[in-house]
């Protein structure tokens, strides 16, 4: 970190502490491979030291499974003595945590080698390397996420979630009621606090809509001209939603498929690209005639099978797929068509963009973004044609062809020469090792259904 940048960041810290003299603590946050936020809590008097010298955290933070245990086959644990790396603040992420009873702030961090180079296994660095390929072309990426989640009761039933009682009617929602305004009113205090908390934290959340299942909602983030910052916002929004819900005596889940027979939670991303003059290279009155848009889509579709492990990184992720839930299961595209993997929304010509609709809300936003951008860059530089757009119901026209389980998805990623040109093969090895470890543990478990079916019948 250069001296001028450090001086600017120290000014940021000074201004913040002056503005919020009541702040007692600062949470130092870093998102792991699963997008789970980890870190340290410090007293306000230590904040300047963090900006000046950073903080030490073990490299194994990026070799943790979903339970927070180090996966030793990654080589980032005991093999290197569980050694530390150094984490530095990310500019413009210091903000208040509005849910805390004791005034507390938060600050996003990113990991570096002790010599100062970015640490290869930080998902933020994985994304930065892909973005740098667009920088070299003089292109700027604009991006925004749509994040779905369920409000759930703090009390489960035999380990299974249930919808929370409405603070207004006292009833549990039972029906789909997509876009129903009355359902927003049932949980208005919580949902409004989410939007107000986002505003207080500088997160550009501009709308909440009722989604396709009981107590399921979606928060829309406004586009920003920095894809890494867009991912920062998505990570912080998840944390905000969880903690605001706790304040309202509810819980939340971003699990891809928490309820059988109900819609899963998705994480859609919208992407447009600006040239050196600030013009959207996808802009067109007729999107089919825009070569840059077609080539970008072509690259995304060609690489989609190899990206699935990043888009759908958990065993549960693949339960989300199904035609009735608008989750695409084949590499397909269309104009204003929600049955395809890549949708081109209609609207003004200068607002033409790609909407990628495959990933679940359980995906790490940085790895999702890195995957999609890798596909776009691959398509632009190789002028890959996507074929004609799908009109009508894609599920009736295209057979399921994307990996439909984690094991196959990991094999596709591990074997992909194209993805290895964009994502450091060392990182792919770490990711695959972690997910194979989780998969092995899952496959060694015995489900309740197996006992019900087989214990007394075979």
Helix (H) or strand (E) holding 110: strand 104-112
Report yes or no on 438 lying in a domain. no
Band of residue 183 on the pLDDT scale cut at 50, 70, 90: confident
Residues 276 and 170 in one domain: yes
State yes or no: pLDDT of 102 exceeds 50.
yes
Give the range among 11-15, 141-145, 325-329 with minimum mean pLDDT. Answer: 325-329
Q: Give me the pLDDT at residue 7, please.
A: 65
Arithmetic mean of pLDDT, 19-43: 97
Query: What one-character DSSP code corresponds to residue 225?
Result: S
- Is 435 part of a structural domain of the chain? no
* CATH number of the domain to which 321 belongs: 3.30.590.10
Q: Locate all alpha helices (DSSP H) within 136-226, ordered by sequence.
A: 181-186, 188-201
The reply to whether 441 falls in a domain is no
pLDDT at position 378, please?
Answer: 98
Reported as a pLDDT band with limits 50, 70 and 90, residue 323 is low
Task: Let me know whether 71 and 163 are in one domain.
Answer: no
Whether 309 and 417 share a structural domain? yes
324: confidence class by pLDDT, cuts 50, 70, 90:
confident
Domain finish residue from 86, 120, 154 = 120
Range of the domain at 306: 131-423
Shared domain check, 60 and 181: no
Q: What is the pLDDT of residue 177?
A: 63
Q: What is the pTM of this model?
A: 0.95
Flag whether 401 is in a domain.
yes
Q: Are residues 315 and 350 in the same domain?
A: yes
The pLDDT of residue 165 is: 92
The reported pLDDT for the residue numbered 202 is: 96
Decide if pLDDT at 197 tops 50: yes
Residue 313 and residue 229 share a domain: yes
**Residue 181 confidence (pLDDT) above 80:** no
Q: From residue 216, how far is each of 176, 183, 290 by CA, in Å? A: 9, 10, 36
Other beta carbons within 10 angstroms of residue 32's beta carbon come to 22
Residue 5 has pLDDT above 80, yes or no: no
Q: What would the mean pLDDT of 415-437 be, rounded to a whole number?
A: 98
Beta carbons of 240 and 196 less than 8 angstroms apart: no
Q: Give 179's pLDDT tier (boundaries 50, 70, 90).
A: low
Q: Of the residues 81, 97, 120, which one is the last residue of a structural domain?
A: 120
Nearest to 440 by CA among 9, 17, 31, 71: 71
User: What pLDDT, on a 0 to 100 scale, did the predictor assign at position 185?
Assistant: 83
* 442, part of any domain: no
Q: Are residues 285 and 395 in the same domain?
A: yes
pLDDT reported for residue 189: 93
Which of 120, 145, 163 finishes a domain?
A: 120
CATH (domain of 85): 3.10.20.70
* Higher pLDDT among residues 352 and 9, named by residue: 352
Residues 173 and 250 in one domain: yes
For residue 333, which of 370, 290, 374 has the smallest C-alpha distance? 290
Model confidence band, residue 6 (pLDDT cutoffs 50, 70, 90): low
Q: Give residue-wise pLDDT tens across range 59-96.
A: 999 999 999 999 999 999 999 999 999 999 999 999 99
Average confidence (pLDDT) over 106-127:
97
The mean predicted confidence, pLDDT, of the chain is: 94
284-321 in b/e form (b: 16+ CB < 10 A) is beebeebebbbbbbbbbbbbbbbbbbbbbbbbbbbbbb
| pLDDT number for residue 2 | 47
Note the pLDDT tens digit of each residue in 210-221: 887 889 999 999
Q: Has residue 15 been placed in a domain?
A: yes
Question: Taking residues 364-368, what's their average pLDDT?
Answer: 98
pLDDT at 159: 85
Q: What is the pLDDT of residue 194?
A: 97
Q: Are both 136 and 195 inside the same structural domain?
A: yes
Question: Is residue 411 domain-resident?
Answer: yes
Statement to judge: residues 166 and 297 lie in one domain: yes
Is residue 282 domain-shared with residue 360, that is, in the same domain? yes
Residues 84 and 208 in one domain: no
The predicted pLDDT at position 176 comes to: 66
Residue 437, in any domain of the structure? no
Number of domains in the chain: 2
* The pLDDT of residue 186 is above 90: no
pLDDT the model gives residue 9: 77
Q: Is residue 440's pLDDT more than 80?
A: yes
Model pLDDT for residues 140-178, shown as the tens digit of each residue: 999 999 999 999 999 988 889 999 998 888 888 876 665
Average pLDDT value for residue range 383-407: 94
Asked if residue 81 lies in contact with residue 2, where contact means CB atoms within 8 angstroms, the answer is no
């Amino acid at each position: 970190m250069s001296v001028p940048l450090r001086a600017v960041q120290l000014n940021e810290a000074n201004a913040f502490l002056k503005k919020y003299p009541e702040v007692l603590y600062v949470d130092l946050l870093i998102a792991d491979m699963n997008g789970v936020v980890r870190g340290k809590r410090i007293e306000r008097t230590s904040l300047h030291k963090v900006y000046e010298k950073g903080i030490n955290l073990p490299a194994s933070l990026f070799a943790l499974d979903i339970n927070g245990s180090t996966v030793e086959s990654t080589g980032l644990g005991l093999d290197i003595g569980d050694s530390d790396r150094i984490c530095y603040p990310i500019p413009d992420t210091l903000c208040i945590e509005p849910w805390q009873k004791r005034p507390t702030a938060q600050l996003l961090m990113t990991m570096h080698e002790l010599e100062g180079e970015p640490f290869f296994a930080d998902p933020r660095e994985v994304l930065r390397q892909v973005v740098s390929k667009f920088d070299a072309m003089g292109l700027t990426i604009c991006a925004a996420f749509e994040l779905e989640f369920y409000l759930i009761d703090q009390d489960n039933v035999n380990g299974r979630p249930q919808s929370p009682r409405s603070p207004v009617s006292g009833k549990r929602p039972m029906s789909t009621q997509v876009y129903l305004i009355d359902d927003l009113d049932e949980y208005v205090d919580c949902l409004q606090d989410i939007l107000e908390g986002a505003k207080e934290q500088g997160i550009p959340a501009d709308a909440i809509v009722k989604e396709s299942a009981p107590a399921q909602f979606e928060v829309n983030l406004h586009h920003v001209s920095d894809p890494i910052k867009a991912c920062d916002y998505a990570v912080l929004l998840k944390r905000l939603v969880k903690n605001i819900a706790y304040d309202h005596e509810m819980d939340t889940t971003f699990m891809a498929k928490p309820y059988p027979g109900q819609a899963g939670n998705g994480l859609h991303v919208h992407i447009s690209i600006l040239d050196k003059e600030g013009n959207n290279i996808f802009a067109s009155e007729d999107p089919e005639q825009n070569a840059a848009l077609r080539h970008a889509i072509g690259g995304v579709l060609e690489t989609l099978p190899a990206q699935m492990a990043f888009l759908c990184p958990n065993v549960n992720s693949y339960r989300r797929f199904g035609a009735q839930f608008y989750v695409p299961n084949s590499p397909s595209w269309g104009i204003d068509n929600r049955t395809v993997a890549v949708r081109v929304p209609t609207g003004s010509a200068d607002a033409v963009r790609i909407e990628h609709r495959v990933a679940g809300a359980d995906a790490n936003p940085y790895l999702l973004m890195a995957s999609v951008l890798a596909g776009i860059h691959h398509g632009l530089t190789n002028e890959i044609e996507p074929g004609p757009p799908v009109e009508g119901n894609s599920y009736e026209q295209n057979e399921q062809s994307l990996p439909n389980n984690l094991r196959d998805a990991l094999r596709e990623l591990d074997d992909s020469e194209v993805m290895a040109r964009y994502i450091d093969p060392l990182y792919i090895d770490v990711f695959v090792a972690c997910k194979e470890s989780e998969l092995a543990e899952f496959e060694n478990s015995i489900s309740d259904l197996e006992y019900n079916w087989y214990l007394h019948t075979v």
